[in-house]
Structure 1
Amino acid sequence: MLALHCLVTVAGDVALWAEDSGLPARRQGRATKAVSDHPFALPSRALAELVHGVVDEYLVLLPSHPSAPVASPELVRDPLARAATPRGAVKLSTWRVPAVRMSAAAFARGAVPERGDVRVGTSVRYLSAVSAFAEDLVGRGQVLPTVVSEEDGPAARWRPALSGADSARYARLREAMPPALRAVQVDGMDGRRADEVLRPMLDAFVDGATRSRLAGTRLGPKRPADGEPVALLAALTGDPLLDLAPERAARLAAELDEWRAGGAHDGPIRACFRLRAPASDDTDWVLEFLLQAADDPSVLVPAEQVWQRTRDALLHRWVARPQELLLAELGRAARILPDLDECLRTRRPVELRVDADGAHRFLTAAATLDQAGFGVLLPAWSRTSSAVGLRLTTTSRGAAGTVTRTTPLARNQLVDYRWDLALGDATLTERELRDLAAAKVPLVRVRGQWVQVDQRRLSAAMAFLERSRSGQMSVGDVLDLAGMADDESLPVPVVGIGGFGWLADLLSGDVEATLEPAETPEGLHAELRPYQRRGLAWLAFLDRLGLGACLADDMGLGKTIQLLALEVLTRADAVVPPTLIVCPMSLVGNWQREAEKFAPGLRVYVHHGANRLTGEKFSNAIADVDLVVTTYAVATRDAEKFADLGWHRIVLDEAQNIKNSASRQSQVLRALPARHRVALTGTPVENRLAELWSIMDFANPGLLGPLTRFRARFAVPVERHGDEDAAARLRRITGPFVLRRVKTDPSIIDDLPDKLEMKQFCNLTTEQATLYRAVVDDMLAKIEEAEGVQRKGLVLATMTKLKQVCNHPAHFLGDGSRVADRSGKLARLEETLEEVLAEGDRALCFTQFAEFGGMLVPHLAARFDTEVAFLHGGTPKRQRDAMVERFQSGTGPSIFLLSLKAGGTGLTLTAANHVIHLDRWWNPAVEDQATDRAYRIGQRRDVQVRKFVCIGTLEERIDAMIEDKKALSRLVIGSGENWLTELSTAELRELVTLSSEAVGE
């Protein structure tokens, strides 16, 4: 095992050296005066093979015993060698270490080796963080050119322009610097200060990153020209040495220094501005001047103390002449805020008094001042929303409290409305509106609170109110406004919709809570639970309004029984056309059995199979039925036939089957006509928000607008940037039409047993490790030359191969070879199943690979001398139903293997109290769906869920990444596998590299 460390040389280069745990605990070093060779340092030749660069050696100051240096925490020594570990007091001593020196740019490009036997030290990780900081600065354009004097002459370099939050980030990095980076001995000095190490390294990383981004870019003129600017532009993208005489280079350096001083600030102290609102008997705003520590914004010195020439040690530790600095900073800030010119005419400026317009100009310039490196302290009220917006109040007859069957309400039904103007969260009265209009100033006091008002938008909003303050509009128009807060037809955004009546209840976002639970309808042979009665009331409420619904209850909470109850309620006192239920093939029998058991009065017709009826025969067959059950594949093929029929309701079970809005299946089903639409799914979003759009566009076409606008307003902000405001807006829009309850909520269900989830870590066998490394090496050799779709395909194919290797060598090779004693994961499965069977329990084993399940069936049957059931996509419907029925009855096998796609949804398998995920889908929503085959209503025992993970492989690393992403996933999205294709080559290498602990004994 090697531990890799970094040193930062005086010249700003990076030097890497390594400790080797395989070397003897003691090794005679070559004595040179008082300095000896580091006994555990990797020799130069071996180090040069590990890291590419210039071989060198350095004297380093390290914690040491009297006879040897203390091993670094990353160095794992042989336990048997502990007796030889040096003992005695620890002190700092100098040692000679062989190292490989490289430029900062080479380090940033990934010079650190990616090997399972190399542990990266804190110094390397720290320097990687500095490199990432530099990349971030360059990406945001926080860099400026400068001219510096180097050994070979004057050179043009890019340097960071630190200000505001960047200065604080730099300070945190400086404080966090590990001592190893300062261990190089320089002219007898015992190390260097953190700033002396960090600043040159950050400069070097920024210069390298900027040049990398500008590679191939011409900044100078196409034709040859002479002069300092041309030479500078050439040196900033090519050879940094300036082709100028010394005096001309010095003049250019001075001009750039003056320009930098006027445009950015990176010193230890800076000017800070604090705005104070006028007192009750005053009309002037006060802009106070202060000096502030750049790396500790809490340290402030008012300008008044600066001019008193205080002997404050803190102030003079910052700067020798604080008064001159204050004046210089005010002059620099005046370029951004010209109002400051007035205070510069006084001898000792301490503050600037301005009117409301002047205060507003400062607030407008605050962001620019902060970006330029000044401190800005704003009043708390300026950070709260005070945007002008419109608030809509609707009044509709009736309430949502009682569910009855009445004439359906269409989207074109009229409701009364009234527009009001809102400022932030406050709705303004008529008098406040008149006062605002009369004030004509950008800063006004409303209800005792100062607020900024955009007078242009205020005038436009008031003109809109004069034209259409109140009246009537259709329900459809109100729903469209709920989904389009930035409607271009309105002068300002809609910030709220409320009111009285059923429409206001619907748009409240918690309509289920306002409904009185429906009674279990006569004809339903079941007693609905309280949450199911509320779900029925919600479905019936939206049905009465003619609005679609997405019932997204957790798997196992009884979506089917709620829908059957709705059908019984709908047909209790009216004759209506049949309902079309579209579901996966595995659930056709489930719908038949559930309807027969709980709603025997409903007439069910199954439209499936090669001999299904067509034309007039089909129309006649369904004329007198209530439910027509079919599959997604058949519905797609028979779309024209279904489109000609007058469906009362279309229900999509496992509605995630239409998540791809561009697929023909999704387009066909969204186009089928029906009075009412219901989507049933436990996972309305699996991989990306566009899936939610597709489901909602089926339930309520047009609610979320076109897909392109939906992506711009919600998908991109939430998925790429974790925008919680956009996620909250989306929940607010979809909330009335999506009902989501989870089993873990005690208010939903309090008699469900516990679910214990655990990770089961497995080692690879030597054979698996060999195959794993071969697959990784093959991918890394090809991926550098691959681009676009080819690269994505290569990554996904490699991930599949690596998962197959982690499962079993024979699964990857596909050669039909023996199964026993070749897989660490199989060994763990056998141990687990042995315990399950010994307790008389039953287990569900899920795999995403049907071929892997096919391998396991005969092996497990022979290993435990028992029958093993296996359900996969090719299992015929009749056999599938019989298999499930046998397992549930307790007479079937105790081990049930299922492919994740075929058996992960819709089935009720509560006879099992153990769930084993053999290989990870890397999508928590899909895995939870599969787990819910056993963990659902009807389960009487605690359920143990085991997720098998091969340690030291991509399975363990992706599992950790998924855990890190869960907070974002809970906003509105899940985690799929396609995100893996977007990783960089370095990230992929880190992800898939096999670590040393992966292989078992």
Structure 2
Amino acid sequence: PTLSLLANYGGDHRLRLHWEWHYKSGNLVTAQPLWRHPGDHGYRDDPAEARILEAVGQPWDVVPALGESATGGWGTPRLAGTAELSGLDTLAFTEEVLPRLQNTAGVDVDTSGDIADYREAEEAPVVAISTKATDQRDWFDLGIVITLEGQPVSFAALFSALAAGQTRMLLPSGAYFSLDLPELHQLRALIDEARALQDNKDAPLQISRFQAGLWDELAQLGIVDEQAAAWREAVGGLLEGGVNGLPLPATLNADLRPYQLEGYNWLTFLYRHGLGGVLADDMGLGKTVQALALMCAAKDHAAAGAAPVEDTATPDGAAPFLVVAPTSVVGNWEAEAARFAPGLTVRAIGETFAKNGVDPAEAMAGADIIITSYALFRIDYDAYASRQWAGLVLDEAQFVKNHQSKAYQCARKLPAAFKLAITGTPLENNLMEFWALTSIVAPGLFASPKRFAEYYQKPVEKNGDKGQLDKLRRRVRPLMMRRTKEQVIHDLPPKQEQILEVVLNPRHQKVYQTHLQRERQKILGLIDDVNKNRFTIFQSLTLLRQLSLDASLVDASLSGVRSSKLDVLFEQLEDLVAEGHRALIFSQFTGFLGKVRERLVEENIEFCYLDGGTRNRTDVVNEFKNGAAPVFLISLKAGGFGLNLTEADYVFLLDPWWNPASEAQAVDRTHRIGQARNVMVYRLVAKDTIEEKVMALKAKKSQLFADVMEGDALSGGSLTAEDLAGLFND
């Protein structure tokens, strides 16, 4: 007998196989198919079949469809009577099985149709990526075309093959290529990521201008064609580090350090292209001055009559910037703007428009910068949303980290082409807080909170997936700038000093003003004879200084009045502790240090404490030096001398000291030989109180502070009736 194979090749790499035995008896040839019709009682010549298979091998090891189970489903498989092959099975049969059959005695092979020229491609597949603008602003349809030797490769088929774990892919021409290429697996992962972050997974594949990191990794895999040129131009600088911002404005009254200049260029690049970002530098590195430099440049750009740059979404530079900050920081922004950007017109909004009775349009007319608090922004949102803004700046942006809060919703909805979040702690408790920030300033980066939670939050927070965490960092890198103090220490002077202006909350301010009026009436009649009334004057000064700190220091029944200064201090400490820094906190009033101590206990922040009543002084100092507590509370008299605390790199002076030398001595507890890090010094000064007046007078008449501090010098000629009147008058 002879085993005959009829092989019929069709299109699309399809192959039909039909086996039968041929028996010759004299001149008569009979054919016996290996397959059977129902009721057919023919038989297979198993011994002859086994002899042939011994020479050919077991073809079902190469193409599984060539075998079928033996009778009863047991034992070694045998040839299937018929088979239909396609794709890679046809290729494997033609290249490996067919030659064996053709060279085996007792087997006749009859082929029909055209056998493709199966061969391995000499080139690697080429990936072309394109974008096409959509009706949605900032979104582009993402096109991916894969070609091999000029032939198109089905994108869907390739992804299906990769998902199925196939190692090769066959083209209609017969050329095939290996799928075991890192770039193809990376392409699949990137497309899966883009698809996973879309709300509607069945919609066309899209990418946002804000997804610069994802785009960069896609583009590195292949050719970015001309359709994507504008997109590439808009984000290229972010990806390559060579951002082209606006010229440094001559109206800026500051010399930017190299890292600040880098930040300024990055900010103005974002602004020019209608992109947003997160400025997340360490506390004390000058985030405010970098933002003010941007605002000066935007005004200069508009004044020069320059046309919109690069992008149709570029904001109108003639419109003002809206700065939203915590209530305690609004005054500081106003002061910093006056210092660094004196050419800008600044308006601070301190009350709701309904309460002050001012028309919003009139209140904001002619301003370059409007500064308001998160509470007022939320209450008067409609007034702010009704006008055009050059940009929205969110200072201490962790205030909008809850994406279900009203403040977040207002910041997200406000119509402004450029939005900037400023915070030293962009990520505090969980990744959804970070999503909230990015969804405001870069709404297309991670469009859906649900998808973000599934793709990033759950793998990172619950499963500790380092790969997803690294991917998240890559995605946000182009739109977030963060420099730590350690990274830029060579650009910094050995010590930086800054005044933090504290705006008293309404209840605190009311208590202070009530006592001020009472003390003013008492003192103004005594100042003509300073020597005679020295004790009474000093007593009133001390009372007003304590009221500036905490009303309950003067009257225990006022413990329900929140200390504005404590609130500002702990806003700073929150960032500082989160960033791993350590701080010395000084006050002349041990009673106020006690208030700080109580708040630290409530906040579960470790601390050490030293005042004049501390008996084990050395032990306490060593505990801070050798321990991990981030905060050391120290009274002026107890800690002004003899301490070397270079373990700390931040100093907070809670109340203005009358003697500059004492202030310097406190700072020098940490800023001294052996200190390898830059020292940041913050002076907390209550606005519209005696503290602010003392600071103003300090520059004019520095000897006054030593006089008041020492007490017995009040009789000297350096403290005049005019000086004292200035402290008590409006």
TM-score (norm 2): 0.46
Larger radius of gyration: 2
Q: Highest relative contact order (Cα 8 Å, sep 6+), 1 or 2?
A: 2
